Amino acid sequence: GRVEVPRSVTAVLGQDVVLPCRYRAQEQEQVVQVTWLKRGPGAAQAEVAVLNPQHGEHVQEPFVGRVLRHGHGDLEDGAIVLRN
């Protein structure tokens, strides 16, 4: 399969923005979890959210209320919304 994300996303201060992420699965593949990470300075990464159909959606404390799943249904569409 192949992950498809835009090269860049433009956001407007104070407005919501969608961060798209689509997985083009090959035959017999199924997406079971999507994990979003925020890159920090250097190689530092912080987990933002985990989307899992069996265990639900988990958003890390600093991002609660600001990060939501954009779509519904299967996780081939793993887009999220950053609020405000």
Each residue's pLDDT tens digit, 34-81? 999 999 888 899 999 999 988 989 999 999 999 999 988 889 999 999
Per-residue pLDDT, 53:
87
| Distance set, CA 59 to CA 1, 27, 63, 64 (Å) | 26, 30, 6, 6
Per-residue pLDDT, 79:
96
Enter the CATH code of domain 2-82: 2.60.40.10
C-alpha triplet 11, 13, 19: angle, nearest 5°: 30
* Residue among 10, 30, 28 at smallest CA distance from 20: 10
